[in-house]
């Protein structure tokens, strides 16, 4: 017979277990594609205002030095969910391979610990998602207009509406229907702000009166940087930035390298919406042809390459026009994104969930907004290496304001696990951000350098394979495969990375120090690429 006194300890233990479960925070992880810190006003950008993203930074924390381990969509996502660099999780690039869904991932570990796990939006890892109680994912890159979603039963359903709105709707619907007795992690993965930047129709005319200031290194000639000279991600080039696909210059009968893909995306609109779309963009196309009548055929044929030796006044004028179109479309897509982040925040606040929910906003990598004359990402230069990262913290985490320590996307998995009370596996290569979020002093106990490795070449945009190390002041990169070139930058003296000082006697000690740091990190992360190259 159980006595009353014997029951009390049992009740106490049960109460403690319930209390512990209640303290485990929910996690809402919002990740965009190709959104860059230059297009967030909380990072000091004057291009546009992002009031809802700013709410997260103002009420929580903003990471000033947030980086990726591989600046490419699929590999970045694999790094995030595994807490490991690309060579360890096996998904090194988008062109080849399938993510091994049988391996250990952070969602699987949270699921095993009693968390509900859901993924809405972009998966981009080729394989079928594992470790999720629920998912609805876009096929590949997905579509901006009336997007199709792969369901857990293998069927595909086409949604009606603008992709950013639809993903948010589905995320809120899932939170409404979830088991309210369990903690959850919800991955909200947007297509925005990915190429080709098709805006919500209600924002077609937004930013049309705005002239965006070009970065000071927009006309970079890439002297002393061989890999930069050989890339194919230049705004000036009609091959790289397609006049039809990227700039929406199209009149019936026009053909370009990517025109067919563009038309397929637009044709997803309902007839009445398509008519509205073309009414606006026809005026833009006519404006281009009026301005540059002699450049039309060359631009459509991809013959304008914009290389330093061919930057005539006409080519420069076309390039400036393309830049403004690019910036306006990107800003329109970003505005919809910011709106929908606000919708999610409002839902969490209205349902009294913010006290026990970690809200994370980030992107899978940064992006070039004209720096070096480029769009896209891939390179280890700052604009694509750096990714925005802001967080709203649950109760118990007192840090507010900016965090200056260097963090990477391999850190997200161990962070979420520790916050959920789940043991972090020893083979995860990232570091938990919990000490930073608690406001603990980390002097001498935090990393002083980060490691990067990009593999996708040959491929779209022709960014050479490279790896490197970055400290708070210096960056060392090695481009390899069909090239053997080293680059070294002093980020304090040359924040725009215009002057490669590798081999400069004045930086001999720095160069030696950075090589030592590179070898140390390669050993730490078990990446023997330099040994492979010696064979």
At a CB cut-off of 8 Å and minimum separation 6, what does 283 contact?
A: none
Question: How far, in Å, CA of 256 to CA of 514, rounded?
Answer: 44
Question: How far, in Å, CA of 289 to CA of 368, rounded?
Answer: 27
- Tell me the CATH number of domain 24-197+334-437, given options 3.40.50.300, 1.10.3720.10, 3.40.720.10, 2.40.50.140: 3.40.720.10
The token duo for 265 is 């995306």
**3-state SS, residue 431:** coil
Neighbours of 219 (CB within 10 A): 16
Q: What pLDDT shows up at residue 301?
A: 80
Domains of the chain, residue spans: 24-197+334-437, 202-327, 450-534
At a CB cut-off of 8 Å and minimum separation 6, what does 472 contact?
A: 65, 406, 448, 491
Q: What pLDDT shows up at residue 532?
A: 93
Question: How far, in Å, CA of 307 to CA of 406, rounded?
Answer: 35
Question: How far, in Å, CA of 500 to CA of 332, rounded?
Answer: 35
The token duo for 281 is 């963009």
Question: How far, in Å, CA of 468 to CA of 522, rounded?
Answer: 9
Compute the radius of gyration of the chain from its Cα atoms. Answer: 24
The token duo for 173 is 């619907």
Tokens 């301005």: give the residue: 291
Q: What pLDDT shows up at residue 311?
A: 79
pLDDT along the chain (535 residues), means of 10: 40 42 86 97 91 98 98 98 98 92 98 98 97 97 97 97 98 97 98 98 98 96 97 95 96 92 98 98 94 83 78 88 98 98 98 97 98 98 98 95 97 98 98 96 91 97 98 98 98 98 98 98 97 89
Q: What pLDDT shows up at residue 22?
A: 53
Question: How far, in Å, CA of 504 to CA of 510, rounded?
Answer: 10
Q: What pLDDT shows up at residue 4?
A: 38
Question: How far, in Å, CA of 299 to CA of 309, rounded?
Answer: 17
What's the CATH fold of domain 450-534? Arylsulfatase, C-terminal domain (3.30.1120)
DSSP 8-state assignment for residue 234:
B
Q: What pLDDT shows up at residue 298?
A: 80
At a CB cut-off of 8 Å and minimum separation 6, what does 376 contact?
A: 34, 195, 233, 367, 368, 384, 461
Question: How far, in Å, CA of 433 to CA of 407, rounded?
Answer: 8
Q: How far does CA 334 lie from the centroid of its chain?
A: 13
Please provide the DSSP assignment of 131-188 as one string. Answer: S-SEEEEESTT--SBS-EEE-TTS-EEE--SBHHHHHHHHHHHHHHHS-TTS-EEEEE
For the whole model, what pTM was predicted? 0.94
Q: What pLDDT shows up at residue 11?
A: 40
Q: What is the largest CA-CA distance in the chain?
A: 97
Q: What pLDDT shows up at residue 431?
A: 98
Question: How far, in Å, CA of 181 to CA of 207, rounded?
Answer: 45
Give the number of C-alpha atoms closer than 13 A to the C-alpha of residue 429, restricted to the C-beta side: 25
| Apex 328 CA angle, 327 and 329, nearest 5 | 95
Instruction: Please report which residue ranges of 267-359 form alpha helices under DSSP H.
Output: 271-291, 296-300, 313-350
Question: How far, in Å, CA of 357 to CA of 364, rounded?
Answer: 21
Q: Give one word for 188, left, alpha or beta, with left for phi > 0 and alpha for psi -120 to 50.
A: beta
Q: What pLDDT shows up at residue 332?
A: 98
């Amino acid at each position: 017979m159980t006595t009353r006194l014997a029951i009390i300890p049992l009740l106490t233990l049960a109460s403690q277990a319930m209390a512990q479960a209640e303290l485990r925070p929910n996690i809402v992880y919002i990740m965009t594609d190709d959104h860059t810190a230059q297009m967030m006003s909380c990072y000091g950008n004057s291009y546009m205002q992002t009031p809802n993203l700013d709410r997260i930074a103002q009420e929580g924390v903003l990471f000033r030095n947030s980086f990726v381990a591989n600046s490419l969509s699929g590999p970045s996502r694999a790094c995030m969910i595994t807490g490991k660099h690309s060579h360890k999780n096996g998904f090194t690039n988008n062109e080849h391979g399938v993510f091994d869904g049988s391996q250990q991932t952070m969602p699987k570990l949270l699921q095993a610990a009693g968390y509900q796990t859901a993924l809405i939006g972009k998966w981009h890892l080729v394989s079928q998602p594992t470790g999720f109680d629920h998912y609805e994912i876009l096929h590949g890159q997905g579509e901006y207009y009336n997007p199709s979603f792969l369901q857990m039963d293998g069927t595909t359903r086409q949604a009606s509406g603008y992709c950013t709105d639809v993903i948010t709707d589905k995320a809120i619907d899932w939170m409404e229907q979830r088991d309210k007795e369990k903690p959850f992690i919800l991955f909200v993965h947007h297509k925005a702000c990915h190429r080709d930047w098709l805006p919500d129709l209600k924002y077609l005319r937004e930013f049309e009166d705005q002239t965006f200031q070009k970065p000071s290194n927009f006309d970079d000639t890439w002297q002393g940087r061989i890999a930069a000279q050989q890339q194919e991600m230049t705004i000036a080039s009609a091959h790289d930035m397609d006049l039809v696909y990227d700039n929406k210059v199209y009149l019936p009968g026009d053909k370009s390298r990517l025109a067919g893909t563009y038309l397929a995306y637009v044709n997803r609109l309902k007839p009445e919406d398509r008519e509205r779309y073309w009414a606006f963009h026809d005026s833009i196309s006519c404006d281009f042809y009026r301005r540059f009548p002699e450049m039309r055929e060359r631009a459509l044929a991809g013959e304008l390459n914009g290389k330093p030796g061919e930057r005539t006044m006409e080519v420069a004028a076309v390039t400036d026009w393309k830049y403004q179109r690019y910036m306006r479309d990107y800003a329109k897509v970003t505005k919809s994104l910011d709106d929908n982040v606000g919708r999610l925040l409002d839902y969490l606040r209205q349902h009294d969930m913010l006290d026990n929910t970690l809200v994370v906003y980030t992107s899978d990598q940064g992006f070039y907004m004209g720096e070096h004359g480029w769009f896209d990402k891939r390179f280890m230069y700052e604009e694509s290496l750096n990714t925005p990262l802001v967080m709203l913290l649950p109760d118990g985490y007192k840090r507010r304001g900016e965090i200056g320590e260097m963090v990477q996307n391999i850190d997200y998995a161990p962070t979420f696990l520790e916050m959920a009370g789940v043991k972090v596996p020893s083979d995860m290569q990232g570091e938990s951000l919990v000490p930073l979020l608690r406001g603990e002093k980390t002097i001498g106990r935090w990393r002083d350098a980060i490691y990067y490795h990009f593999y996708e070449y040959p491929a779209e945009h022709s960014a050479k394979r490279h790896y490197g190390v970055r400290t708070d002041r210096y960056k060392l990169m090695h481009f390899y495969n069909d090239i053997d070139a080293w680059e070294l930058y002093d980020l304090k003296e040359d924040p725009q990375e215009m002057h490669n000082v590798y081999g400069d006697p004045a930086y001999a000690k720095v160069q030696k120090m950075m090589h030592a740091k590179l070898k140390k990190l390669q050993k730490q992360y078990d990446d023997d690429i330099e040994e492979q190259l010696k064979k």
